[in-house]
Structure 1
Amino acid sequence: MTTVRTIDVHAHILTEETMRRMRAEAPDIGPTLSEVDQEGGVLTVGSIVQRPFPRGAWDLELRLRDMDAAEVDVQVLSVCPQTFLYDRDPALTATLSAIQNEEIAKVVSQHPDRFLGIATLPMQDPERAVAELRRSMTELGLRGAQIGSHVEGRNLDDPALEPLWAAAAELGAFILVHPQKTAANDRLKSYYLKNLIGNPLDTTIAAASLVFGGVLERYPDLKFCFAHGGGFMPYQTGRMNHGYDVRPEGKVNLKEAPEASIRRLYFDCILHFEPALRYLVETFGADHVLLGSDYPFDMGLLDCVKQVRALKASIEDRNLILGTAAAGLLGDVQSPAKRAAQAG
């Protein structure tokens, strides 16, 4: 019996060469590391400080060992949200995005059996974002993009982003939506609520904006995957439907109930709670739930393969989550054995 290749669609990377190139281009905001030890260090990107910043983000040998220990065959590499840089000059962000995308493509080329990559885009300038998505997919071999949950306060249904969605649909891009600069931060300063609540809240706003903005109706084949189990959106589908039924506001851009668009979305498995993951699979289908770890951050699900294999679900459903569904969306890399057999 063939074992499914496990594909982790949510894994961040920021190599030392990427940081060096970004600093050379923009010394004031280029990422820097300090207080480095065996566990990691402190990342500074302009005014953003990430503490701790785990060593696995830049140490490729450690990453590969961690993947082996977690039984992750393939990671889909994406940038760290700290380097989205949507608040900077669009031309500069485009240049720094290009550097990050080239460096991700380089890592993929060095280990084609272990990594795929997705791009980062200068979202504050949709024309440049379209150009970089097209370049990243057609020239660098990346499979799509990771984008933030908003663009400096503009939700993802902003009409200015329509050309990007059209291009993503045309290219068959896989789009991972990741929270950043989360809402309600003034009320979430204690108890690490900025992450515990803020991240899933901002993901929910992003998903709801795309749904009620009619983006999924206009582009039903778009492949949006939402981080951290989709925030709160999958668990409030009934409320969304009810609001659509009893209120006029939700009907402005939607022709059918929001559930139809919600069912077009994909979600990673990072929920840290088996009943919640089971609900997600049973309600939206295992083919819409993808393996994710949020490597290397401490709020991630670094034992994601183990968690999915322990899920109360059929073998077929577990395999869909572990990698079969992602392979269909991304195009799987070949295993070393298969590549050797073809070469022979």
Structure 2
Amino acid sequence: MTAPTVDVHAHVLLPEVERLVAGEPALAAARQLDARRNGPDALAVNGQMVRERLGVLTDVAQRLSAMDGAGVDVQLVSPSPSHYHYWADRGLARTVWETANTATAEHCARAPERLRGLGLAPLQHPDLAVQALDHALGEGLAGVEIGSHAPGRELSDPAYEPFWERAAETGALVFLHPFGCTLDERLDRWYLSNSVGQPTENAVALSHLVFSGVLDRHPRLRIVAAHGGGYLPTHLGRADHAWRVRPDAGNCAHPPSHYARRLWFDSLVHDPAVLRELVRVAGADRVLLGSDFPFDMGTDDPVAALRAAELNDPDFDAVRGGNAAALLNLKEIR
């Protein structure tokens, strides 16, 4: 009996969500901002890339076939971050999260032994986030996916305290996955908006959680950071130094490096040396296999990418699936 191979970073596209927001004036403004941040070349490539992958993003049979080809037994499926729509007003936000949660649950229910799901929570309306989390759990999902910030709010905002408390109380997974970068036009060429912007957003968001004391106040939180946590895990020495010498450097009880072992990280770092360092810093029990399926900034063979890091056998097996199986309460396979 061995733990299944579990990919915790895989996405589903939900056309029903996009139909809900079509024609909204605020959507047009959000897309204009997205265009400024990414630049025309990136948007053109993105559109073609998504069209080519529409089948595996929406059809369960195609998803399972791709999983078989990659040697993945179970996926934790989260909505495409393009469905966040953090510009939506309260009424529309509720419709978006309810629709996304239900649609994701229905997608996963077509292959319940192989698919687990995550819902959405409206970070732009912190007072509704608990309701969204409870709705996701009520649909049988494992938790929710969130971005790195909402307009005018960082994850350290006290308004999110009830959400963190509820997530900790229920044992829900919170998958931190950025969408867009606030460095805006500075990254509008050469796809810097993703290659530099995403790891930057991960590092900023996690730093807010660490330095503000969120992880001290809610030690049972189960937060999984996409993209290996971005730049943060490999630059914790500087964060620790600031914590030691600067009286203004946060309210956390321990050096920032302490909290790397209080979070979980996916393995999607695209460099075996960086993955080995992530395992060293966070511990092999805190790293989970991730592919960003099926987008082009992911990997088609996450197990091979993990194998390239040349971890010892117990650590390899833990990252390959043992850690995620424990988080998701999955059964072993023969």
Residue identity matched to 2:311: A
Q: Retained in 2: the 8 A contact 1:8–1:292?
A: yes
Match of 2:166 in 1: 167
SS at match of 2:119: coil
Secondary structure at the aligned position of 2:149 is classed as coil
Structure 1 match to 2:226: 227
For residue 9 of structure 2, give the secondary structure of its aligned residue in structure 1. Answer: strand
What one-letter code is carried by the residue in structure 1 that aligns with 2:15?
M
Change (3 A) 1:324 1:334: closer
Q: Offset at 1:121?
A: 1.0
1:341 is matched with: none
3-state DSSP class of the match of 1:5? Answer: coil
Local SS of the residue matching 1:249: coil
- What secondary structure, in the 3-state scheme, does the structure 2 residue paired with 1:76 have? strand
Aligned pairs for 1:49-128 (under 5 A) are 50-51=46-47, 52-53=49-50, 54-55=53-54, 56-128=56-128
Tell me the secondary structure at the aligned position of residue 93 of structure 1. Answer: helix
* Contact 1:228–1:269 (Cα < 8 Å) also in 2: yes
Count how many residue pairs are aligned between Structure 1 and Structure 2: 315
Return the TM-score normalized by structure 2: 0.89
Structure 1 outlier segments of 4+, above 4 Å: 45-50
Normalized per residue, which structure has more helix? Answer: 2
Amino acid at match of 1:243: A
Aligned in 2, Cα 1:255/1:283: closer, same or farther, shift over 3 Å?
A: closer
2:40 aligns to what? Answer: none
The residue that corresponds to 1:269 in the other structure is: 267
TM-score (norm 1): 0.87
Structure 2 residue 16 is matched with structure 1 residue 20: yes
Q: Distance in 1 between matches of 2:331 and 2:121?
A: 24
Q: How far apart are 1:155 and its partner, in Å? A: 1.0
Q: Percent identity?
A: 39
In 1, Cα distance between the equivalents of 2:24 and 2:291?
Answer: 27
Q: Distance in 2 between matches of 1:285 and 1:120?
A: 28
Tell me how far apart the structure 2 counterparts of residues 214 and 27 of structure 1 sit (CA, whole Å).
Answer: 39
Aligned to 1:39: none
How many angstroms apart in 2 are the aligned matches of 1:60 and 1:99?
18
1:328 corresponds in structure 2 to 326
Separation (CA, whole Å) in 2 of partners of 1:132 and 1:184: 29
Q: What's the secondary structure of 1:94's corresponding residue?
A: helix
Distance 2:11 2:321 in 1: 18
Q: Does 1:148 align with 2:143?
A: no
The separation in 1 between residues aligned to 2:118 and 2:332, in whole angstroms, is 18
What is the distance in 1 between the residues matched to 2:200 and 2:31? 25
Kindly provide the amino acid, as one letter, of the partner of residue 95 in structure 2: T
1:38 corresponds in structure 2 to none
Question: Aligned with 1:116: secondary structure?
Answer: strand
**Partner Cα distance (2:270, 2:24) in 1:** 34
- Is the alpha carbon distance of 1:290 and 1:193 closer, same or farther for their aligned partners in structure 2, counting shifts above 3 Å? same
Q: 1:76 to 1:217 in 2, by over 3 A?
A: same
Structure 2 unpaired stretches of 5+: 35-42
Q: Tell me the CA shift for residue 144 of structure 1.
A: 0.9
Extract unaligned runs of 5+ from structure 1.
Answer: 31-44, 338-344
Partner of 2:134: 134
* CA apart distance, 1:145: 0.8
**Deviation at residue 302 of structure 1 after TM alignment:** 2.1
- Give the Å deviation of 1:239: 0.5
What RMSD, in angstroms, separates the aligned Cα atoms of the two structures?
1.9
Do residues 237 (structure 1) and 202 (structure 2) align?
no
> Which letter maps to 1:208?
S
In the aligned structure 1, how far is the partner of 2:209 from the partner of 2:246? 18
In 1, Cα distance between the equivalents of 2:191 and 2:18?
30
Aligned position for 1:204: 203
Show CA shifts across 1:130-173 (max 9, x none).
Answer: 01211211x21111111001012411001111110000000101
Aligned partner of 1:340 in structure 2 is none
Query: Is this contact kept in 1: 2:9–2:75, CA < 8 A?
Result: yes
Distance 2:17 2:241 in 1: 50
Distance of 2:274 and 2:256 partners within structure 1: 21
Take 2:192 and 2:291, find their aligned partners in 1: how far apart are those partners? 20
Deviation at 1:22, TM superposition (A): 4.8
Using the TM superposition, give the Cα deviation of residue 263 of structure 1 relative to its aligned residue in structure 2, in angstroms.
Answer: 2.3
Larger deviation, residues 253-262 vs 212-221:
253-262
* Deviates further, 140-149 or 117-126: 117-126
Asked whether the equivalents of residues 268 and 290 of structure 1 are also in contact (C-alpha less than 8 Å), the reply is yes
Counterpart mapping for 1:228-307 below 5 A: 228-251=227-250, 253-307=251-305
The alpha-carbon deviation at position 330 of structure 1 amounts to 1.9
Q: Deviations over 1:286-336 (max 9, x none)?
A: 11110001011000022111222343112111111011111111221675x
Contact preservation (8 Å) 2:183, 2:197: yes
What is the CA deviation profile of residues 92-131 of structure 1, one whole-angstrom value per residue up to 9, with x for unaligned ones? 0121111111011112221011100011111211222101
